[in-house]
């Protein structure tokens, strides 16, 4: 099944939603995947970003579908034991918050991602979100995070992928508050429609942002029928 972004694709022809919190970015000649989960694709990743080791973000079966010999897999340290011997090809780059990496002309920065008022994603685990910079655009994937001080300073975001389902992450209202503060050009709600949350959470997020009069455009990802 092919999943694409709903509403408008203007300026986002290179972004595909894979469902849940997964995305594929086409950056020049490179394909970059983030947290693939329950995907159907024959495409192979040049770069794979994993935010943390929970099964719906770090799915070995999905990683096996897209890894090739020279795929670079960025992931936190606690993911390594689950990967060992199960995925042929690829090489790993361990990450922690507040670090910078590069693959050719693609810059990758890690950002803290954790819960502030629940215990599912402890700060001590050093799990991450990512900022990907390419050709003048900055894409921010928040991972499974609440609204935390470490992300309040982010600026000049082209696209922000924000979880909206609550329970394990920020909810729609909290995510909308964050979007209004960060002021990305485009905000895309995620982390719904699979493990927890549904499209009503994405719509609630969109409604709050749009009622504010903020210049941010909200695009709700949809399955391609």
Encode pLDDT of 64-119 as tens digits.
999 999 999 999 998 887 776 667 678 899 999 999 999 999 999 999 999 998 98
Over residues 38-61, mean pLDDT? 93
Tokens of 2: 């092919």
Domain ranges (residues) in the chain: 3-223
104: left (phi over 0), alpha (psi -120 to 50) or beta: left
The confidence score (pLDDT) of residue 225 equals 40
The confidence score (pLDDT) of residue 6 equals 45
Angle between helices 199-211 and 172-182 in degrees, nearest 10? 40
CA distances from 95 to 80, 106, 108, 110, 148 (A): 11, 16, 10, 7, 19
pLDDT at 29 over 60: yes
1-5, 169-173, 190-194, 198-202: lowest mean pLDDT where? 1-5
* Residue 171 · residue 165 · CB < 8 Å: yes
- Give the pTM: 0.92
Over residues 113-126, mean pLDDT? 94
Give the separation between CA 48 and CA 224, rounded to whole angstroms: 23
Over residues 190-208, mean pLDDT? 91
CATH number of the structural domain 3-223: 3.60.15.10
Cα of 163 vs its chain's centroid, Å? 9
* Residue 12 · residue 5 · CB < 8 Å: yes
Over residues 4-12, mean pLDDT? 50
pLDDT at 206 over 60: yes
pLDDT at 218 over 60: yes
Percent of the chain with pLDDT over 90: 74
């Amino acid at each position: 099944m092919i999943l694409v972004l709903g509403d408008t694709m203007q300026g986002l022809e290179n972004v595909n939603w894979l469902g849940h919190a997964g995305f594929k970015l086409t950056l020049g000649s490179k394909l970059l995947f983030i947290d693939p989960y329950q995907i159907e694709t024959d495409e192979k990743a040049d770069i794979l970003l994993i935010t943390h080791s929970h099964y719906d973000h770090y799915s070995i079966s999905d990683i096996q579908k897209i890894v090739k010999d020279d795929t670079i897999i960025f992931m936190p340290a606690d993911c390594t034991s689950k990967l060992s011997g199960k995925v042929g090809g690829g090489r790993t780059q361990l990450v922690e918050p507040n670090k910078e990496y590069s693959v050719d002309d693609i810059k990758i920065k890690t950002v803290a991602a954790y819960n502030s008022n629940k215990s599912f994603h402890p700060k001590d685990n050093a799990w991450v979100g990512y900022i990907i910079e390419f050709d003048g655009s900055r894409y921010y994937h928040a991972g499974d995070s609440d609204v935390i001080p470490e992300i309040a300073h982010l600026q000049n975001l082209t696209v922000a992928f924000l979880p909206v389902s609550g329970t394990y992450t920020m909810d729609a209202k909290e995510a909308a508050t964050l979007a209004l503060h960060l002021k990305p050009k485009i905000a895309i709600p995620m982390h719904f429609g699979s493990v927890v949350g549904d499209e009503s959470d994405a719509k609630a997020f969109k409604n709050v942002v749009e009622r504010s009069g903020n210049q941010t455009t909200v695009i709700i990802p949809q399955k391609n029928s």
